[in-house]
Structure 1
Amino acid sequence: MSIIFWGCAALVAFTYAGYPVWVRAWAALRPQPVARADITPTVTAILCVHDGEAQVGAKLNNLLALAYPEALLDVVVVCDGCSDRSAEVCRAVRSSRVRVLEFAHRRGKAACLNDAVSAATGDILLMVDVRQRVEEKSLGALVACLADPAVGAVGGELRFEHPETGFAASVDAYWRYEKAIRQAESRSGSVVGVSGALYAMRRKLFVPLPAGTVLDDVLVPMQVVRAHRRVVFEPGARAWDHASASAGDERVRKVRTLAGNLQLVQLAPWLVNPLHNPIWFRFLCHKLLRLVAPWAMVLMVLAALVLAADHRFYRACLAAAGLVVLVVAAAPALPRLAAFWPVRMLVAFVHMNLYSAQATVAFVRRRTLHLW
């Protein structure tokens, strides 16, 4: 039982603290700076929409207003089996720079991305989602990184509007933690994934996605890495979103995306093969160990229960675990408590692990995921 407890404790500690420390140390010891330059290649923005009538018009206007030469930027928007007026709203923008691909039947984002890229003419693809607002100078910041011939794709930063209170504060705290890891991965080589809200890549490096792929924003950049190009993070390119206001809203989103990591291994087993994935260790630590960690914590609690009768230390561990549960449960009702940064991180940590466990169960039971 002691071996189980300490082995699981070591795994959890490495997943959430050891790996971030390791990658930051690697970035400090072996930095790989990006050779940025002011360039203006042709760019095609790719936008896939399913029932996005309320948002797609504003998004297209946002893209068309980016600080980039108009003659060098166009947009391909794909309406995937929409039951609303999404396609009509897109056409109402009335810009020669916007092309609309409309499909009567819903096929999923992966199929839409494949079709959109086939229709694209720009040397660079700007990948965006419909919901987020992209800052005006973001495209220029992304393209500047692609002036480095070693860089094949570059991700922007996702930020949240008004994340100060409620569960949104915990979501924001988690994203700050995630950003620090991505920055270190970028400085030392390549990031494992990017935010689907905002990233750019060389069109020639795009590999068509398998049908039903959920995490295109992980598989696409990993295909770039497989082609021996870097994937970097550019915090000067920003997209703004609204954080989930409740744990229930966040659960729906995170369970699907976390299960998507298991789907990736199913669709592309080369991701865990050191001979085919140059950053397989980072993929294992950043993506897969987070799915193992909650089960390791369950084993830790069970081992501590067995050992508690004879060891004061394990009784203290169980008491600490109980205190964590109480703090997380009380935080929604106590705004002053929830406002403390350690509590925000604790709430985020507990919920992310709950979502990870639910994602594993959901994937094992179903083996299929929703198209969107």
Structure 2
Amino acid sequence: MPRDNRWSGALFWGGTALCAYAYFGYPLIVSLLARGKAKPRFAPPEAWPEITLLIAAYNEEAYIARKIENSLALDYPRERLQVLVVTDGSDDDTPLIARRYADQGVQVLHQPKRQGKMAAINRAMPFVRGDIVVFSDANNLYAPDALRFLIAPFTDRRVGAVSGAKTVLDEDDPLGASEGLYWKYESFIKEQENRLGTCTGVAGEILALRRRLFVPAPPGTINDDFYLMMQVLRQGYNVVYAPQARSMEHISASAQDEAERRARIVAGRYQAMAQAPHTMPWKRPLVAWQVISHKFTRPLVPFGMLAALAGSVGAVLRPPRKGGLWRLQPPWNIGSALLQGVFYLAALSGKYLQIPGKIGKALYLPVFLLDSNLAALTGLWRYLRGAQNAAWQRVRRRSI
């Protein structure tokens, strides 16, 4: 008599547990741990510190003028704000356009050689005058009061970095709605982490850092914002999320551009996971757990999804004779396979059929989850092949 099927249930439940923890388990646990803890509040400083707004721009001729004008109009003491634009590698009119604002105090650094965003930041840091440096991108615009909310938490000496909130402007578009939903989800997690003392996710478009805590990234670093955050945590300082410090940007021009962007981010995440034994704040166990749960479990979700699907299919093809629900004994094998089939059918329908109305909007989430995890597999493949260059390939975005 052939041996009973014992592996299908283990595959299904193991994969399901991984996905559930990454998307729901960690947010639930961190919110329970934060329950009863006060939301951090920071009073404005008696005197606003001198800060540097460092804008990294590669071939951003369509955006750079609007970004600089937005920066100069921010509600922050002008004599305390240095605007520094680094345009390394740009072969369009980005440097020329940026230099037109020299008479308003804007400084521009440019070299023809392109080495990537982190290398450009490393090169620009000796020119930074401010005690606090704010990292930003050319395609991202700040709310008028963003800098004041971003800088206020530095009145606490334990704070080493502050991240603002990223807002998507195209939420009436399916791609924009999915992206907007993701950032609201991220904002919830960060606000709960704030109550525990430090958050473990930052937006590189609006990230402030104490200049003395800056550690130059090694060559080839893909995710500059994650690297900078980890260095702050390793030095014993906290990272704060300031949701009132709002930044805004348009979504990628197409689903293909968005997939390219996500694949690059996940390739950088796998790079960070490989470096984790040497870069994690192991002396702070709670923070290390937060980093692992918040940032390192999601890139593994595609494997959880594949394991769950393989378990269900295996249980249908070779039904277990005993074990009930935990081994996917009939009818649980059929039920688990049908549930996953409905999810993938919904995702594919929303992706390719462009269904209008409320039904179409209801499909935004499965489409986002499927696309995100396909991009994660692409990112892993690129990382393993060494095909993801640290030099940022600019993604086309909707017009500003």
TM over 0.5: yes
Q: Aligned residue for 1:25?
A: 32
- Mapping of residues 175-190 of structure 1, within 5 Å: 175-190=183-198
Q: What secondary structure does 2:87 align onto?
A: strand
Cα drift, residue 17 of structure 1 = 0.5
Q: Is 2:342 the counterpart of 1:335?
A: no
* Aligned partners of 1:80 and 1:112 also within 8 Å: yes
Partner Cα separation in structure 1 for residue 158 and residue 30 of structure 2: 20
Give how far 1:162 is off.
Answer: 2.7
Q: Are residues 1:371 and 2:391 paired?
A: yes
Check whether the contact 2:221–2:390 (CA below 8 A) recurs between aligned residues: no
Moved over 3 A (4+): 29-32, 265-269, 275-278, 337-340
How far the C-alpha of 1:132 sits from its partner, in A, is 1.0
1:248-307 CA-partner distances (Å, limit 9, x unpaired): 221000000011011123455323462477622111111111111111211111111121
Matched, 1:48 2:56: yes
CA separation in 2, counterparts of 1:348 and 1:259?
18
Given residue 349 of structure 1, which amino acid in structure 2 is its aligned partner?
A: L
2:152 is matched with which residue? Answer: 144
- Cα distance change of structure 1 residues 148 and 338 upon mapping to structure 2, 3 Å threshold: farther
SS in 2 for 1:80: coil
Distance apart, 1:190 and its partner CA = 1.5
Name the structure 2 match of 1:85. Answer: 93
CA distance in 2, matches of 1:156, 1:258: 21
Matching of residues 1-372 of structure 1 within 5 Å: 1=7, 2-31=9-38, 33-38=40-45, 39-267=47-275, 269-272=277-280, 274-275=282-283, 279-308=287-316, 309-310=318-319, 311-332=330-351, 333-337=354-358, 339-340=360-361, 342-366=362-386, 368-372=388-392
> Aligned partners of 2:303 and 2:258: how far apart in 1?
20
Provide the C-alpha distance between the structure 1 equivalents of 2:101 and 2:40, rounded to a whole number of angstroms: 40
Change (3 A) 1:276 1:208: farther
Aligned length, in residue pairs: 371
Deviations 1:176-232 (A, max 9, x none): 111111111122122223111112111111111112212111110111111111101
Q: Classify 1:6/1:28 alpha carbon distance in 2 versus 1 (closer, same or farther; 3 Å).
A: same
**Comparing 31-40 and 65-74, the one that deviates more:** 31-40
Q: Distance in 2 between matches of 1:322 and 1:245?
A: 30
Distance 1:277 1:360, change over 3 A: farther
Q: Secondary structure at the match of 1:54?
A: coil
Bigger drift between 214-223 and 244-253 goes to: 244-253
Q: In structure 2, what is the Cα distance between the partners aligned to 1:48 and 1:277? A: 34
Counterpart of 2:343 in structure 1: which amino acid? V
Shift of 1:164: 1.6
Structure 2 letter corresponding to 1:178: E
Taking structure 1 as the reference length, the TM-score comes to 0.94
Aligned residue for 2:282, secondary structure, equals coil
Q: In 2, distance between residues paired with 1:273 and 1:139? A: 28
Contact 1:80/1:103 (<8 A) preserved: yes
Structure whose CA Rg is larger: 2
Residues 316 and 278 of structure 1: is their aligned pair in 2 closer, same or farther, counting only changes over 3 Å?
A: closer
CA separation of 1:36/1:228 partners in 2, compared to 1, >3 Å: closer, same or farther?
Answer: farther
SS at match of 2:163: strand
C-alpha RMSD over aligned residues: 1.9
The answer as to whether partners of 2:63 and 2:138 remain within 8 angstroms in 1 is: yes
1:345 counterpart letter in structure 2: L
Which sections of structure 1, spanning at least 5 residues, go unmatched? none
CA distance in 2, matches of 1:251, 1:338: 23
CA distance in 1, matches of 2:303, 2:276: 24
Q: Give 5+ residue unaligned stretches, structure 2.
A: 1-6, 320-329, 393-400
- Supply the distance in 2 between the matched residues of 1:268 and 1:118 (Cα, whole angstroms): 28
Is residue 172–residue 243 contact of structure 1 (8 Å, CA) maintained in 2? no
Give the equivalent residue in structure 1 for 2:326: none
